[in-house]
């Protein structure tokens, strides 16, 4: 069998498959269905300094080959995540976990990252400067190189764990933003977050979701994600975690050939709770099909 392991920012992973933040809760919900230790790691639900109820409902709209969500970073706040969620997680997941962090100010990001950085089970900090579902935060930091770099510098000052900056596809030049984050000290780049989308109820003549617009995800965005991963991976000298429409083992291999060291699986987990496990299970056969002995050998294979 081919070797599935990869090294992400100095941390060895059994395989490159990572359920994406917002699609896997805090892990223990999925642990009731299968042993989630088969995964490389997972990125837990986006965490903010203070508790958030999220956006008004309805928050979800179905689309062809995807979905739109505007959950709005609903979470119990970092203090509760540390005191309640992480201890429950530790009982069912025995690997370093990726902590996804959002904020509404540079100070928010730094505060939350500093708190989570002190937790033994946190392996990486995935700093989300790209959420399209909240007003006055998230994506507003990820749409300019200067703002993204400012968040990166603030987090790096307080963090000892590797810092991954999660970028938005809703920009004109994603490469300049990625390079600014690298220059500010980022240890890696995660991309892409959801694209901005909208659906309209024709009978009511109103937007389907209460937030009007939300994050479009699913297989339809995969080619855009591959293109952006390829562009960024060829422009920076730090690892890239690729995501966006990934739903099969073949997608993982394609994303890695584009330049991703590891690959996140998002909306597919909401369609099939076993999606990430199936991808891990299917990888050896896909590797054999394409004569791949080690997955780490194909990172950035396409020039």
Active site residues: 131
The secondary structure of 7-50 as a DSSP string is: EETTEEESSSEEEPTTSSTTSHHHHTTS-GGGSS--BPPPB-SS
Contact call for residues 28 and 91 (beta carbons, < 8 A)? yes
- H helix intervals, 71-168: 78-80, 86-90, 106-117, 139-142, 145-158
What number of other Cβ atoms are within 10 A of residue 303's Cβ?
6
Contact call for residues 18 and 44 (beta carbons, < 8 A)? no
CA–CA dist 125, 115 (Å, integer): 11
CA–CA dist 15, 12 (Å, integer): 9
| Token pair 């959420």: residue | 131
Give the pair of three-digit tokens for residue 106.
């540079």
CA–CA dist 77, 47 (Å, integer): 6
CA–CA dist 44, 102 (Å, integer): 12
């Amino acid at each position: 069998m081919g070797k599935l392991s990869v090294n992400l920012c100095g941390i060895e992973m059994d395989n490159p498959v990572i359920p994406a933040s917002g699609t896997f809760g805090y892990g223990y919900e999925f642990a009731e269905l299968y042993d989630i230790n088969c995964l490389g790691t997972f990125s837990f639900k986006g965490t903010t300094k203070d508790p958030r109820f999220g956006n008004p409902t309805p928050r979800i709209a179905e689309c062809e080959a995807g979905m739109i969500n505007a959950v709005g970073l609903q979470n119990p706040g970092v203090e509760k995540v540390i005191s309640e969620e992480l201890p429950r997680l530790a009982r069912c997941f025995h690997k370093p976990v990726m902590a996804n962090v959002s904020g509404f100010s540079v100070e928010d990001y730094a505060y939350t990252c500093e708190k989570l950085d002190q937790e033994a089970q946190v392996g990486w900090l995935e700093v989300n400067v790209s959420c399209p579902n909240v007003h006055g935060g998230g994506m507003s930091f990820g749409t300019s190189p200067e703002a993204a770099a400012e968040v990166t510098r603030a987090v790096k000052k307080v963090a000892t764990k590797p810092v991954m900056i999660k970028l938005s596809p809703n920009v004109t030049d994603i490469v300049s933003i990625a390079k600014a984050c690298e220059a500010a000290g980022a240890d890696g780049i995660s991309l892409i977050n959801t694209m901005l989308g909208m659906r309209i109820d024709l009978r009511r003549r109103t937007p389907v979701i209460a937030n009007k617009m939300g994050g479009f995800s699913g297989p339809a965005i995969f080619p855009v994600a591959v293109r952006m991963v390829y562009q960024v991976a060829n422009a920076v000298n730090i690892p890239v975690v690729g995501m966006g429409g990934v739903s099969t083992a073949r997608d993982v291999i394609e994303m890695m050939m584009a330049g991703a060291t590891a690959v996140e699986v998002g909306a597919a987990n909401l369609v099939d709770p076993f999606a990430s496990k199936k991808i891990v299970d299917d990888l050896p056969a896909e590797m054999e099909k394409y004569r791949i002995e080690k997955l780490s050998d194909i990172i950035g294979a396409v020039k």
